[in-house]
Amino acid sequence: MQTDLPTHPALTVSELNREAKNLLERHFDWVWVEGEISQFTAASSGHWYFSLKDTDAQVRCAMFRRANGRSKLQPKTGDSVRIRARVTLYEGRGEFQLICEHIEAAGAGALQIAFEQLKARLSEEGLFASEHKHSIPNDAEHVGIVTSATGAALQDILTILERRSPHTRVYVFPVPVQGDGAAQRIADAISQADQLTRDGKIRLDVLIVGRGGGSPEDLWAFNEEVVARALFAASLPSVSAVGHEIDFSIADLVADTRAATPSAAAELVSIDQNELLQHVDQLSIRLDRAVSRSITDIADQLSAVKKRIRHPGYALSQHRKTLLQLSGALQRTTERHITTRLAKTEQLMTRLAAQHPQQQLMRHRGENTRLQHQLLLQIKQRLQSVKAQTLYQHKLLQSLGPEQTLNRGYAIVTDAQGNLLKDAGTRQRGDEISIRLQEGKLIAEVTGHAQK
């Protein structure tokens, strides 16, 4: 008996390994792994290859020359180490492996445990959540810097800002960036910068917090909870720039954004003011080239005309006319090119000026004034309409009042207590009554009743 099984397209080995590699790399972020080195090999290419093992398992590792060139540790077989690595798979052999970016002697594990514990706790509280992040301006005019006054990081930031955006004003909040008490000083500086800005004593568009590279112990101040909470509480947009690209801190997670280095932070918050000048220079170069091409074309035309010269006098006269025409054309072409390029430049400058907040504010003020005038006119018209309606109702009320009834010759009769009399049968002979006329009042006595 033959059973027909459904057919499925088969993967090649390369496709399978590639899919497995993609799954591994997507699932794992950077990981820290601790173990003992075995089978260490330093290849002639400069790369390191080794296995990392514990009592129950081992994993293949590779550390390429670019990464191990920064390492302060020269590992060997038998060393206990901690590595920071990416999880991947070597497709050629289908072999699971770690690509190491940082290696250090084991023993810094307590710091890493403290880091992971604080990271987990602050994450649960929402300090890393994206909804709390502020946007970072890329053209800040006022920049605060919390770092060491003597460190290279400050000089790097100032150098970048001076080159890219010389108009930017910088406020430095000098603090120690390592050692006892450094974390509290950093947190206090963050809070001080934020408070001064909220009080209006200074203006800051963004705050850069960081330092240059160092060992994990040197960078530890930026892993302290007090710094994390100061960054989270600040209303200022903040950039964390701690160490080098491979370094990662709690401050990086809490800040509104992370820069790989202090120099990168300076580039992130500034815009290169030379770009506009470069654009103008490019227009000038294009103008020069266009003029040069026109001159070359005209020179070629002149050369062709000269070759057709026969009679010296006549040809000279004709060529003089042609030369004048071509010179005029050259001048007009040059002027036209210059005018076009100047107009383009002015247009760019006008568009740049139109984006200035002051221009937008003037437009909003004009619109506000127009709306105010329109509102006042509508209020005035409404008041006039209400006033006319009220006057009409007043006159109508007066026309229906008792005074108008008296004016038409009628009288109002009341008893001695002032009660209105509507039925003659309610009075007896001899009762006193009061009769109100248009002018004055009569006092009368009932002498009898008339038939209806």
- DSSP single-letter state for residue 235: -
Token reading at 156: 């790097």
- Rounded to whole angstroms, the Cα distance separating 260 from 252 reads 10
Mean pLDDT of the region 123-148:
93
- Per-residue pLDDT band for 129 (boundaries 50, 70, 90) equals very high
What integer pLDDT is reported at residue 197 of this predicted model?
94
Q: What is the pLDDT of residues 26-65, one digit of tens each?
A: 888 788 999 999 999 999 999 999 999 988 889 999 999 9
Strands of 441-445's sheet in order across: 412-415, 432-436, 441-445
H helices of 269-311, where? 274-307
Predicted TM-score (pTM) of this structure: 0.43
Listed in sequence order, the residues at least 6 apart from 350 whose beta carbon sits closer than 8 Å to its beta carbon are: none
53's enclosing H/E stretch is strand 48-53
Inter-helix orientation angle 225-233/182-198, to 10° = 10
- Rounded to whole angstroms, the Cα distance separating 366 from 372 reads 10
CATH class in words for 128-268: alpha beta
Q: What is the pLDDT of residues 237-270, one digit of tens each?
A: 999 999 888 888 999 999 999 999 999 999 999 8
Listed in sequence order, the residues at least 6 apart from 201 whose beta carbon sits closer than 8 Å to its beta carbon are: none
CATH class in words for 13-107: mainly beta
pLDDT above 70 covers what percent of the chain?
94
- Rounded to whole angstroms, the Cα distance separating 61 from 48 reads 8
Inter-helix orientation angle 225-233/109-125, to 10° = 30
Inter-helix orientation angle 312-354/274-307, to 10° = 170
Q: Whole-angstrom distance between the N-terminal and C-terminal Cα of the chain?
A: 127
Please report the DSSP string for 87-121 in residue order: EEEETTTTEEEEEEEEEEETTTHHHHHHHHHHHHH
Q: Does residue 1 have a pLDDT over 50? A: no
Amino acid 390 reads T
Tokens 């040197």 identify what position?
218
199-222 core/surface letters (b: 16 or more CB in 10 A; e: else):
eeeeebbbbbbbbbbeebebbbbb
Q: What is the pLDDT of residues 365-421, one digit of tens each?
A: 888 889 999 999 999 999 999 999 988 888 888 777 777 777 777 788 888 788 887
Amino acid 162 reads E
**Longest Cα–Cα distance in the chain:** 150
- Rounded to whole angstroms, the Cα distance separating 315 from 154 reads 75
Mean pLDDT of the region 94-123:
82
Token reading at 204: 């800051």
What integer pLDDT is reported at residue 60 of this predicted model?
94
- DSSP single-letter state for residue 420: B
Task: Report yes or no: 438 and 412 within 8 Å, Cβ to Cβ.
Answer: no
Break the chain into its structural domains and give their ranges.
13-107, 128-268, 274-354, 407-445
Helix, strand, or coil (residue 271): coil
- Rounded to whole angstroms, the Cα distance separating 288 from 282 reads 10
- Per-residue pLDDT band for 148 (boundaries 50, 70, 90) equals very high
Q: Does residue 324 have a pLDDT over 80? A: yes
Q: What is the pLDDT of residues 414-440, one digit of tens each?
A: 887 888 877 777 788 888 888 888 788
Amino acid 90 reads Y
* Phi/psi of residue 4, nearest 5 degrees: -85, 110
Listed in sequence order, the residues at least 6 apart from 438 whose beta carbon sits closer than 8 Å to its beta carbon are: 406, 407, 409
Mean pLDDT of the region 139-145:
93
Comparing CA positions, the residue from 278, 266, 271 lying closest to residue 165 is: 271
